[in-house]
């Protein structure tokens, strides 16, 4: 900011000097014109005798014209100086915006911790803590860390339910419909369920699957008023991602949600400009070249122009717990310096980041769902924060650290979950 002010002062000083020079040149030109008229040869003076009165009138008006020109120049210079002064005052009066204050609470200890860390590791004069740009890697879990997971459950689970029971029941087996209809609050989002997700989308091309994930996001959830599923990003966390990006951190999203679905969510969120598709790591379903789904090895055929890649219904790996740190090692190839999670399934990723063998200063943050007014959080802050501090994580309170969670107009519904008529009829029978 100080350097910008100096540059502005310099530019305005040069502009004022130029105006002064122009004023001098105009005055000299007018003076020379008068001198030329007064020193004309005698013959020319006699020839002009017939128009003495007209000339005299012009000469009488010359001083007034000179005065008017000089006044105009002086007025212009004064205006320029005044404008310069006003601009400098405006620049000086503009307060420097403190990072992480738009959606974060002013007194947030977690936000202050992040500001202090970023300032320290991006300062090249701090030789002990400085981290080169190429090594500034930050990893974020998605569900419950970047996005809502309580409407009434994860995006991918709600998408599976909608796909099987409402959007395309004709494409799935009765067994998968039963699985979708049986999901209630408190269910276990384990690998078994993820395998059923993979089966449901068998035969879809990757483009079709991606597009369905985007289309599903336009549906409204019953757990919040005025919320589509795609409106699921926590605004304070989106602000944090941008803050890190602006400080030359490379951002990765490491999610337990399937990779293509995660990409669709990120690409339609406030962080779309800061996280590229190749920086999304998630659970993987099996993909094959269409027409070669039953061939055991991809080495037995080659991709040709116009071929399609399709989901086979097969399952590869759930990206939770130790798999998160393994995926980071495989796909990034180095330890992150910042990690953000919200549950026990993220602790491997976070511990991998703050491991004592990390060559750089590293920190891990845990988002705690303790807000039961704007969100459906039920966690006990005192208990959870103490546990996380003991593990070496900085706790983030959704209730106290987040000044605003969602866009204006989005509020918690009266009920998080209510049985559909079909489910009620099924249970009654």
**For residue 426, what pLDDT band results from cuts at 50, 70 and 90?**
low
Distance CA 335, CA 346 (A): 15
pLDDT in tens, 179-205: 999 999 989 889 999 999 999 999 999
Structure pTM?
0.78
What's the mean per-residue pLDDT of the chain?
85
- Residue 339: what pLDDT? 98
The residues, ordered by sequence, that sit 6+ positions from 22 with a Cβ below 8 Å of its Cβ are 73
The two most distant CA atoms of the chain are separated, in Å, by 126
- Residue 8: what pLDDT? 41
pLDDT in tens, 95-133: 678 999 999 999 999 999 999 999 999 999 999 999 999
Distance CA 318, CA 320 (A): 6
The residues, ordered by sequence, that sit 6+ positions from 87 with a Cβ below 8 Å of its Cβ are 8, 12
**For residue 79, what pLDDT band results from cuts at 50, 70 and 90?**
low
Residue ranges of domains in the chain: 2-93, 109-158+219-285+317-428
CA neighbor of 412 nearest in space, from 380, 377, 379, 369: 377
62-66, 162-166, 220-224, 314-318: the lowest-pLDDT one: 62-66
- Residue 78: what pLDDT? 54
The residues, ordered by sequence, that sit 6+ positions from 245 with a Cβ below 8 Å of its Cβ are 251, 273, 274
pLDDT in tens, 290-345: 999 999 999 999 999 999 999 999 999 999 999 999 999 999 999 999 999 999 99
Cβ neighbours around 239 below 10 Å, total? 20
CA neighbor of 159 nearest in space, from 88, 84, 264, 250: 264
- Residue 57: what pLDDT? 44
Distance CA 55, CA 402 (A): 81
Question: In this structure, what token pair is assigned to residue 337?
Answer: 């310096």
Question: In this structure, what token pair is assigned to residue 160?
Answer: 């599976």
Question: In this structure, what token pair is assigned to residue 409?
Answer: 């107009």
- Residue 97: what pLDDT? 81
The CATH fold of domain 109-158+219-285+317-428: Rossmann fold (3.40.50)
3-state secondary structure at position 396: strand
pLDDT in tens, 35-53: 444 444 444 444 443 443 4
């Amino acid at each position: 900011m100080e350097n910008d002010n100096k540059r502005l002062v310099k530019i305005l000083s040069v502009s004022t000097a130029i105006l002064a020079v122009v004023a001098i040149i105009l005055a000299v030109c007018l003076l020379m014109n008068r001198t030329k008229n007064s020193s004309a040869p005698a013959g020319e003076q006699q020839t002009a005798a017939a128009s003495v009165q007209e000339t005299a009138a012009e000469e009488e008006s010359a001083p007034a014209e000179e005065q008017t020109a000089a006044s105009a120049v002086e007025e212009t210079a004064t205006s320029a100086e005044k404008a310069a002064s006003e601009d400098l005052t405006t620049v000086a009066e503009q307060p420097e915006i403190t990072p992480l204050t738009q959606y974060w609470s002013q007194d947030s200890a977690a936000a202050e911790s992040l500001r202090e860390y970023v300032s320290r590791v991006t300062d090249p004069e701090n030789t002990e803590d400085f981290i080169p740009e190429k090594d500034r890697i930050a990893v974020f879990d998605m569900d419950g860390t970047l996005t809502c997971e309580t409407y009434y459950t994860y995006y991918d689970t709600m998408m599976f339910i909608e796909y099987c029971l409402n959007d395309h029941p004709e494409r799935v087996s009765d067994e998968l419909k039963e699985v979708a209809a049986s999901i209630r609050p408190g269910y276990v989002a384990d690998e078994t369920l993820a395998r059923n997700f993979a089966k449901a989308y068998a035969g879809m091309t990757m483009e079709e699957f991606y597009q369905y994930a985007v289309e599903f996001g336009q549906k409204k959830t019953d757990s919040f008023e005025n919320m589509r599923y795609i409106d699921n990003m926590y605004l304070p966390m989106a602000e944090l991602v941008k803050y890190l990006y602006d400080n030359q951190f490379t951002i990765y999203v490491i999610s337990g949600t399937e990779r293509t679905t995660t990409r669709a969510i990120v690409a339609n969120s406030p962080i779309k400009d800061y996280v590229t598709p190749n920086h999304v790591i998630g659970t993987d379903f099996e993909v094959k070249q269409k027409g070669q789904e039953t061939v055991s090895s991809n080495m037995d055929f080659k991709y040709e122009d116009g071929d399609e890649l399709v989901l086979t219904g097969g399952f590869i790996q759930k990206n939770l717990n130790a798999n998160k740190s393994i995926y980071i090692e495989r796909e990034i190839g180095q330890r992150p310096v910042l990690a953000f999670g919200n549950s026990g399934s993220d602790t491997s990723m976070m511990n991998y980041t703050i491991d004592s063998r990390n060559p750089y200063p590293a920190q891990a943050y845990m988002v705690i769902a303790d807000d039961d007014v704007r969100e459906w959080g039920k966690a006990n802050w005192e208990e959870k924060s103490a546990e996380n501090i003991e593990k070496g994580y900085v706790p983030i309170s959704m209730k106290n650290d987040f000044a605003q969670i969602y866009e204006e107009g989005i509020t918690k519904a009266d009920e998080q979950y209510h049985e559909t008529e079909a489910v009620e009829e099924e249970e009654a029978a």
